[in-house]
Structure 1
Amino acid sequence: MNARDTLARIQALPAPLRPIRVLNVCGGHERSITELGLRSLLPDWVQLIPGPGCPVCVCPEEAIHQAIQMALLHPLTLVAFGDMLRVPVNLNKGEANSLAAARAQGADIRPIASPLEVIALARSLAPRPLVFFVAGFETTLAPVAAMLAEADLPANLFLQLAGRRTWPAVEFLLQAGSSFEAMIAPGHVAAIMGANEWRFVAEKYALPVAVAGFAADTLLTGLHAVLRHALRHEAALDNAYPAVVKADGNPQAQALLAKAFDIVDAPWRGIGSIPASGYRLTSLHAARDASLQFPVAISGHKRSGQMPAGCDCAAVLLAHKRPSECRLYGRACTPESPIGPCMVSDEGACHIWWRAGERVATA
C-alpha cells in the first residue's frame, strides 16, 4: 500500500476523546517526519513526540572534554564524526569548549564519515597515533566492531568509546512514567538487533510499538499500526519494515558487537546513568583504549553531565518538551550558534525543527 492510501486510512480512524502521543525514538525518523510535513497531514488527535535517538545529543560532556584534552596535550590525531566537532562543553571561559575550538587552538582534529576512512588515515599517518572518538548507537558501533575484526588493523589506531544502546534509554523513559501511548522503533537499529528487541514495550509496558523505516510509506504504515492498536487498547509489536528488518536481526553483526564490546552502565548527557546502555572495549581490544594510552585530567567542569544553563535539550530528549518550547530556542540557540547539542546534530530535534522553518520560540 502506498503512502497516500495509508495516510487516508489514518485519517479515517475514529477520533478518541484524548490525543494519542506517539514517541518516535530515532533522530532519523524525526528528520523524515518533519521534512515530509507529516504532522500537518495527520489528524489533530495524533501527536508525534521526538525522543532520545540522537547519539551526539546524549554523548557525555566528560567524554568530549577528555577528547579535547587528549588532542591538545598529546602528539596525536583525533577523528570524529562531523557533528561531534561543534558540540559544546560546560567549561571555564577561555578554555576550548568543543573539538572545533581545540582544533582552532592547534590540535590535529579531523571530521570523518566512516570507519573505512579511519583505517586509511591511520595507515597514512603511522607511526603517529590516531584516536577515533566514537559516539553513536548500534548502527554506528556495528561497523566499528567490524573494523576491529580486521586482521591487519594499524597498530597506531586507538579508540575512545562513547557508544550507546538504544532500547535501555526507552525503558528508562517508560520506567520514569513518560506519557506516551504508542511508539515507533528505529528501523536501522532493528535491522542489526532485530524487531523482537522491542517486544518488551508491548509485553512489559502494554504499549503498541512498530518498527519503521524512514520513507513515508513505511513510517505511515508503522504509525497506522500503532494508532489502530492504541484505539483498541491493544499492546502489540508490528514490523513495518520487513524488507530490511528481520525478527532476530543480523546475527553476524551481533556477533561482531559481542566480540568487540562489553555492555556497561553509562551516562547520558542531561539524563544520567542508564543501566546496561553503554559499550566498552573487551579485554581483546583493551590495548587500543585511548583513555588508557593517553591519560588526561578533566577536572574543572562547572556543570558536569548537565546541559548548558537555560538549555532544555534534556527535556526534549526525555519527550517532556517540544524543541520550540526550549527557553533558548531561536534566541541564543540556532544552528549557526548552538548552545545545546540538540541544535548541533542533524539528528537533533531542535536542529531539525529549525531547519524545517519552525520559528516559534516560547517564553
Structure 2
Amino acid sequence: MNAPPYLSIVGWARNDGYTPNYAKRLEHSIGFLVRQLDRHRIPSEVIVVEWNPPPGSPLLADQMNGFLGGTSHASVRFIVVPPQFHRGPRGWQKRGMHVNNAANVGFRRARGRFVTPKALDTFYSDKLVSTIGRLDLDDRRVYRCDRLDARMEAESWLDLADDELLAALARHVVLRNGRLTHSIDWKMRDLHTNACGDFILMSTPRWHEIRGYQKDPTVLCLDSDSIALHAAAAHGASEVHWQEECIYKVVHGNTHAQRVATIWKDWQLKLDHYLILRHRRELAMNLRVWLNYPRRRVRGLEEILAPSIERHFVAKAARYAKNDTSLVTNDADWGLARESLSDRTVVRAAWDTP
C-alpha cells in the first residue's frame, strides 16, 4: 500500500433477506457509492463486514465480486466474521446480526484517516460526497448531517441511473431526521443524535479512543450510535452539523422506529404524570434512570426487555457532558482485534497496492 486512504466507510451485511431484494439493494448502493467516491476523487475504502453468514447461502462477497468494475480511488473490502463470534449475546439465536460488533470489526481494521459507519442501503447526496472531497476535514471535529427518508412505491428505482435516482429520492422524501431538542432535565450536550448511526464522521484515532460502539450483551444494540457521539464530544471532538448535505434512505417495513416500542406500567405513568404536573420534571427523569423505566421492547425479540433510554443512554450522556472520560463502554480488544478474519479486497483502487 502506498499511502493510507483519506476515508473509510464501514457497513455491515448478512445474506439473510433482511429486506426484499436485499442483495440487489446492496449491490446498487455499494456501486452507487463507489462511483461517487471515484467521481470526487476521494482516496477511500468501503468496508463491508459480512457478519455471521447464514449456512447454505452464498457469501455476499462472492455474489458481488466483479460487478463493480474498475475504480481509481475507492477500494471495496469484505471482512467475513464466522458464526462462532455471534454466539452468546441474548437473542443471538433469533437475530443473526449484531450491529455493534460488526461495525466495530470494521472500525478496528479501517485504514482511512477518517471513518464513518453507514447503513449499506442508504445513499449519500452528491453534495455530501463533494464536501468530503474537499479533503479538509478536521481531526478535532465530528461531522453530522440529516437523514432523509424517501418512500418509493416500486422497486423500479433499483434500475435508475445514479443522477435519476438522486432526483427521485429528493422528490419522494417523507421525513427529515433533523436535530432533536432534548429535555433540559437530561443535562446532556446538545448533539445531533437523530439517526446518527448512518453518519458519524470522525478521525480514526477518535474511534479508537472511544473504543467504537459500546459492548452490548444483547443483539438489540440500542442507543450505541448516540452514546458514541457523546463519548467523542467528551474526548474533545466538537460537532459540525452540515445543513445542506444529507443521506437518503428508502423506507421499508423493518426500520428501527417501526420496531421499537416503549413499555409503561400503570404506576409508572401515574407517577410520571404526577411529578411533571407539579413541576418536578428533574425528579421524574431521575426516577426513570434509577428505577429503569419505561423499558423498551423490539419487535421480533419481545422476550428481551431493553433498558429505558434514560438508564441506557441519558445517564451516560450526562456523565460525558461533564467530560467524564472514565466511562469506558468497551473492552481493550474491541472489534475482535485479536482475531484473524478473512479480509478480501474485491475492488482495488490505484492507491491500494498490496
TM-score (normalizing by structure 2): 0.23
Whichever structure has more helix as a proportion of its residues is 1
Compare relative contact order (CA 8 Å, sep 6+) and give the higher one, 1 or 2. Answer: 2
TM-score (normalizing by structure 1): 0.22
